[in-house]
A and B are shown apart, each in its own frame.
Chain A
Amino acid sequence: MTRTLKLGGQVVAVACVVALLVLLLWRLTHQQHAPKVGAAAPGFTLHRLSGNGSIDLASLRGKVVVLNFWASWCVPCKAEAAKLEQAWLRYRNRGVVFVGVDYHDVTNDGRRFVAAHTLSFPMVQDGSGDVTSGRYGITAVPETYVVGRDGKIVLHIPGPITGAAAEARFRAALKTAIGS
């Protein structure tokens, strides 16, 4: 009886260790990384920040999409906002759609940010971060993706599009995507 108990205890202990190892392996293999240039942009459907309805990335297939991840509490996002609005006004009639994704933000703060910076391109809300962190592997904002007409990523800019180099890369990628 004692031997059976001891054996049972050992089996349970080994099973626990194996389960923990499996969990560790699963976590390591399922960690989300930023999608690479050339890969398909991860799909999502998110509610609009203001008003009703939602935006489905798949519904924008055939257009060049600029995905900008931001938050009202993010200081570099403030500096970037005006640049993005300028670019949106410049390219919106050329088959380009800008979508701002408000990440881990208080809804009212996000709306105030949009009003304060007079941003006119569509905005969606990702309060839980399931899309931003979960699918795009983003942990700090701002970050911007340019998605081609075929739904594949053309450019990824981690950080604000405020420096001359980042702006030049952004414009070049947009022109290439529009031309393709």
Chain B
Amino acid sequence: MTRRVLAVAVAALALAGPAAAACAHPKTSLAYLEGQVMCPTCHTTLDQSEAPAARAIEAQISRRIAQCWTARQIEDELVANFGAGILAAPPHTGFDLLAWWLPLGGVLAGAAILGFGVWRWSRSREAEPAPVPSGLDDETERKLDDLLSRLD
């Protein structure tokens, strides 16, 4: 029994080390951040770049991930280092907000124009005049139909 308790204690101590070294929150990944961060010299995201500057930034991101930094903390550091242009997505503040709202506004305006056009088209169809009567009596019309069918 004593041996068992001792074994459990040793196992707990062995696991305690790595557990303490682990992050308090889920780690972000280089693959994720490579799609969020731009290469400053080639103006593509890091995952599409082989430029030396991109490799240097990737190395810095990897170091920060190993130090348990969150994606937000890493992005903030990169912005402080390289400016807001280092992020692939524009900021949600000031003039840059336009980049987020303009496409949505465009879609809404397009839908409104399309809706208005459909509404006008359906109204013009409803207002189409009824067929004008020929002015012939039923008997004459029947004879005319007979004659036309014989000609076919």
Residue positions of A touching B, CB distance < 8 A: 2, 71-75, 104-109, 127-130, 139
Task: Encode B38-77 as 1/0 by CB contact (under 8 A) with A.
Answer: 0011000000000011011101100000000000000000
Roughly how many angstroms separate A124 CA and B20 CA in the complex, as a whole number?
Answer: 39
A-B interface, 9 closest residue pairs, ranked by CB to CB distance from nearest = A128-B83, A73-B52, A104-B40, A73-B56, A127-B82, A106-B60, A127-B81, A104-B53, A73-B53
In chain A, what residue has the closest Cβ to B57?
Answer: A106
In chain B, what residue has the closest Cβ to A108?
Answer: B60
Roughly how many angstroms separate A74 CA and B14 CA in the complex, as a whole number?
Answer: 44
Instruction: Show 18 residue pairs from A and B whose CB-CB distance is below 8 angstroms, ordered by the A residue.
Output: A2-B120, A71-B53, A72-B56, A73-B52, A73-B55, A75-B52, A104-B41, A105-B53, A105-B56, A106-B56, A109-B56, A109-B60, A127-B81, A127-B83, A128-B82, A128-B85, A129-B40, A139-B41
In chain B, what residue has the closest Cβ to A74?
Answer: B52
In chain A, what residue has the closest Cβ to B124?
Answer: A2
Minimum Cβ distance to chain B for residue A73 (Å): 4
**Chief secondary structure at chain A's binding surface:** loop
Given A106-B60, A108-B60, A109-B60, A130:B53 Cβ within 8 A:
no
Roughly how many angstroms separate A25 CA and B9 CA in the complex, as a whole number?
Answer: 75
Task: Encode B65-99 as 1/0 by CB contact (under 8 A) with A.
Answer: 00000000000000001110100000000000000
Residues of A within 8 A of B56 (CB): 72-73, 105-106, 109
Residues of A within 8 A of B60 (CB): 106, 108-109
B81 to A106, Cβ gap below 8 A? yes
In chain B, what residue has the closest Cβ to A128?
Answer: B83
In chain B, what residue has the closest Cβ to A129?
Answer: B40
Residues of A within 8 A of B83 (CB): 127-128, 130
Minimum Cβ distance to chain B for residue A150 (Å): 32
Residues of B within 8 A of A73 (CB): 52-53, 55-56
